[in-house]
Amino acid sequence: KKLCVIGLGYIGLPTAAVFANYGWNVQGVDVNDRVIETLNKGEVHIEEFGLATLVKEVVSKGYLTADNKPSEASVFIIAVPTPHNENLTANLSYLISATESLLPYLKKDDTIIIESTIPPRTIDDVVGPIISNNGWSIGEDVFLAHCPERVLPGNILKELINNNRIIGGFDSLSAHKAAEVYKTFVKGEVIETVALSAEMAKLMENTFRDVNISLANELAKISEKLNVNTLDVIELANLHPRVNLHTPGPGVGGHCLAVDPYFIIEKAHNEAKLISTAREINNSMPMYIVEQIDKLYQGKGHIGILGITYKGNVDDIRESPALKIINELLDKGYEVKIHDPYVKDESTIFKLSSFEEVIEGSECLLVLSDHNEFIKIDEEKFINKASKPVIFDTKNCMKITNNDIKYINYNNLYL
Ligand code: SAJ
């Protein structure tokens, strides 16, 4: 059983490692030589809970190897990024070149699976034709399916195995073939459907979450007008058995929620009104946070940033609202120091500092990611070193006990 995984990022690498752990002979392919070198040493280039141990094990046993081009396999899985272009349409160039790269190695009865998130109709209109134009009859000679990944960064290894899996076939035999592949380790349900439904379901999952978060962010803005304690309201409303308001924050980041809704908007611009508005609201939040800082500090002061990743306990800063907030604060003339225990210096243009450096002389600690490390901080040290011990916790993640610290979150921001 030979499997080739093209794209060794946040999804491809854990997927390759899990298949290798379940008895597949896996070849990982990436265009980045550093990724290949690291992996062949049994090491990982991304931070994900449990991944380093698993990779070390499967590489040392010889079940997982990495290379810069595919080779023959019975199953090909493509997990390359689908970023958006400047005009917010999907950039399918990595997906197209990954598909083309496997054509020379394709043989009868092979299965090709696209895990990358894609706009509706991409399997039928883009990937399918690349394969059939090469002389293959899909559903007879070779098989093609979209099996969108739905795992939560930070909990990927567990969710890969336990979540339900949607298998969208180009045709029903393709769906069946791809389902068999995932049944090697998926404990959740493996549901066969058509490619278009799988594409749309994946996008709607993230869009649902984005719209729901925008509702919470809108509530935060309404609360400012009405002097309402936002977080209390959400907690109370969520006591209703059929209500699940999400949580307001500094904006929505990451490579999924902040990107995927545009794939629907691109294909149904006039109809996707609520989805577009939700994106606008969530995109407005970084500026909204800066406005709150301005109200408190009128454009000058030392702001210490805690956390720049798009969410807690991950090292990913893609589309992170923190980056916009920091740039804006710097433009306005604030002195900004930044601490993030998950981010390596080389992955950001900003200079990173230790917690001690950040609190030194700070007028305000602005919390932008809910890392576990921030739940409890050394409050005494903060009080002693800060110029004013104020915390603005946009993620409502801290437990502050000392009353000498002025602690602000969405509950008391406007009081
Ligand atoms: N956020 C809020 N308020 C909330 C929840 C999240 O502001 O109540 C923010 C986070 O801080 C972050 C962003 O939203 O900036 C996205 O974080 P997330 O934890 O909601 O999701 P991701 O992007 O890490 O992963 C999502 C997941 N999708 C769903 O839960 C529907 C995951 O299951 C998908 O596999 C992943 O997108 C993906 O790859 O598509």
Alpha carbon distance 158, 339 (integer Å): 29
User: 55 with 39: CB under 8 angstroms?
Assistant: yes
What is the biggest distance separating any 2 CA atoms in the chain, rounded to whole angstroms? 73
Res. 403: pLDDT tops 70: yes
For residue 271, the 8-state DSSP code is: T
Q: Which of 4, 147, 202, 364 is catalytic?
A: 202
Quick one: pLDDT band at residue 346, thresholds 50, 70, 90? confident
Among the options 4, 147, 256, 397, which is catalytic? 256
pLDDT at 242 over 90: yes
pLDDT tens-digit readout, 352-384 = 999 999 999 999 999 999 999 999 999 999 999
Count the alpha carbons within 13 Å of 348 in the hemisphere toward its beta carbon: 26
Q: What integer pLDDT is reported at residue 47 of this predicted model?
A: 86
Angle, nearest 10°, between helix axes 51-60 and 12-21?
50
Is the confidence at residue 414, as pLDDT, over 90? no
Rounded Cα distance between 58 and 22, Å, is: 10
Does the active-site annotation cover 202?
Answer: yes
pTM: 0.93
Measured in Å, residue 278 CA sits from the centre of ligand 1 at 14
The order of strands in the sheet holding 302-306 is 335-339, 302-306, 364-367, 390-393, 406-408
pLDDT tops 70 at residue 102:
yes
Domain positions in the chain: 2-201, 282-408
Fold of 2-201: Rossmann fold (3.40.50)
Return the number of other C-beta atoms located less than 10 Å from residue 366's C-beta: 28
Q: What is the DSSP letter of 124?
A: I
Instruction: Provide mean pLDDT across the span 136-146.
Output: 98
CA distances from 6 to 68, 151, 186, 220 (A): 9, 18, 20, 42
ipTM: 0.98
> At the fourth CATH level, which superfamily is domain 282-408?
NAD(P)-binding Rossmann-like Domain (3.40.50.720)
Q: Name the pLDDT band for 415 (thresholds 50, 70, 90).
A: low
pLDDT digits 0-9 by tens, 188-206: 999 999 999 999 999 999 9
Nearest to 154 by CA among 54, 47, 308: 47
Q: Is pLDDT larger for residue 148 or for residue 346? A: 148
Q: How confident is the model at residue 26 (pLDDT cuts 50, 70, 90)?
A: very high
Residue 332 known to be catalytic = no
State the pLDDT confidence band at 133, using cuts at 50, 70 and 90.
Answer: very high
* pLDDT confidence of residue 293: 97
Q: Give 257 Cα–ligand 1 centroid separation in angstroms.
A: 6
* 192: its two tokens: 């066969």
The band of 413, judged by pLDDT with boundaries at 50, 70 and 90, is confident
- CATH topology identical between 2-201 and 282-408: yes
Pocket of ligand 1, beta carbon within 6 A: 117, 149-153, 205-206, 209, 213, 246-247, 249, 252-254, 256-257, 310-311
Q: Predicted confidence band at 170 (pLDDT cuts at 50, 70, 90)?
A: very high
Average pLDDT of the segment spanning 163-172: 98
